[in-house]
């Protein structure tokens, strides 16, 4: 562990943009806390107007903006580094956000089991329906080769796993996981992922309180973060490749909701 960002309201996303750390907290104002990437000092707070629910956050250096998911209004908020805020509608309930190599936004829509790709300005470019055994997808990332890595499985589901899906969205190419559990070949709520420059996959496994490293073909490599390094449950990841750091959000689950959170920085 390298550093811990302050405890406060629950954290629903962490990313880096233009040399600053963006932390998304669930509150009415000042939802975005912006920290120095080296000293971890708080620079400023930003308010995302009219946001109703919090689901995920990602960033794009090319377009110099962050994207914030709002599951209540089913829209994505776009905040650029100069402070301008716009938004667009997804028209489905969704959970995860990521940016692909084309600098487009990939949105994971759980109930309809679809991936939707949008331009940076919110133009819908395409939709892919996931294979039938992908139930309750949480997060998806597109690889450089065009395939998709998807994590899926909720509390009542029989299968909790990470899958590689073909570029057309039709077939499972590789997978890791199966029946929920705690051994190295199992997950219980694989919620969020990060992919490094060599396409190794890091997976936040919420209930097992760990982060797992998988090979580019989704074979188990090792555990990156252990439960005793966390205070609560890990549910969002961001990999800072240039500095060899992994940011993990760590939230307390209490009375049916996330109540308190922080972000923990690990050297990887």
Please tell me the distance from the alpha carbon of residue 111 to that of residue 135, in angstroms, as a whole number: 8
Collect all residues with Cβ–Cβ distance below 8 Å to 39 and sequence separation of at least 6: none
Q: Above 90 in pLDDT, residue 1? A: no
pLDDT in tens, 15-73: 999 999 999 999 999 999 999 999 999 999 999 999 999 999 999 999 999 999 999 99
Reported confidence tier of residue 191, pLDDT bands at 50, 70, 90: very high
Q: Which domain holds residue 79?
A: 3-267
Reported confidence tier of residue 125, pLDDT bands at 50, 70, 90: very high
pLDDT of res. 257:
86
pLDDT of res. 255:
86
Please tell me the distance from the alpha carbon of residue 39 to that of residue 57, in angstroms, as a whole number: 22
The predicted model scores a pTM of 0.96
Look at the block and give the residue holding tokens 């051994």.
Answer: 183
How many distinct structural domains can be found in the chain? 1
Tell me what the mean pLDDT of segment 146-153 comes to: 98
Residue 231 Rama label (left phi>0; alpha psi -120 to 50; beta): alpha
- Residue 165 is part of a domain; what is its CATH number? 2.120.10.30
């Amino acid at each position: 562990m390298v550093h811990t960002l302050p405890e406060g309201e629950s954290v629903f996303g962490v990313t880096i943009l233009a040399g600053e750390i963006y932390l998304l907290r669930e509150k009415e104002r000042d939802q975005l806390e912006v920290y120095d990437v080296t000293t971890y000092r708080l620079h400023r707070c930003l308010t995302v107007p009219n946001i109703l629910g919090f689901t995920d956050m990602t960033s794009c250096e090319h377009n110099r903006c962050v994207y914030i998911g709002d599951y209540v209004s089913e829209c994505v908020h776009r905040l650029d580094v100069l402070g301008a805020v716009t938004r667009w509608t997804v028209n489905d309930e969704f959970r995860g956000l990521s940016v692909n190599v084309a600098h487009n936004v990939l949105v994971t829509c759980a109930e309809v089991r679809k991936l939707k790709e949008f331009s940076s300005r919110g133009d819908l470019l395409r939709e892919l329906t996931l294979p039938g055994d992908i139930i309750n997808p949480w997060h998806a990332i597109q690889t450089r080769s065009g395939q998709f890595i998807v994590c899926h499985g909720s509390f009542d589901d029989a299968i909790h796993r990470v899958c590689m899906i073909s570029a057309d969205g039709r077939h499972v190419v590789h997978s890791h996981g199966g029946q929920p559990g705690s051994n190295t070949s199992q997950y219980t709520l694989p919620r969020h992922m990060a992919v490094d420059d060599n396409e190794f996959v890091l997976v936040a496994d919420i209930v097992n309180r760990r982060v797992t490293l998988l090979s580019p073909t989704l074979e188990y490599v090792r555990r990156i973060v252990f439960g005793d390094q966390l205070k609560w449950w890990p549910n969002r990841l961001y990999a800072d490749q240039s500095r060899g750091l992994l940011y993990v959000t760590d939230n307390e689950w209490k009375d049916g909701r996330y109540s308190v959170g922080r972000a923990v920085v690990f050297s990887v």
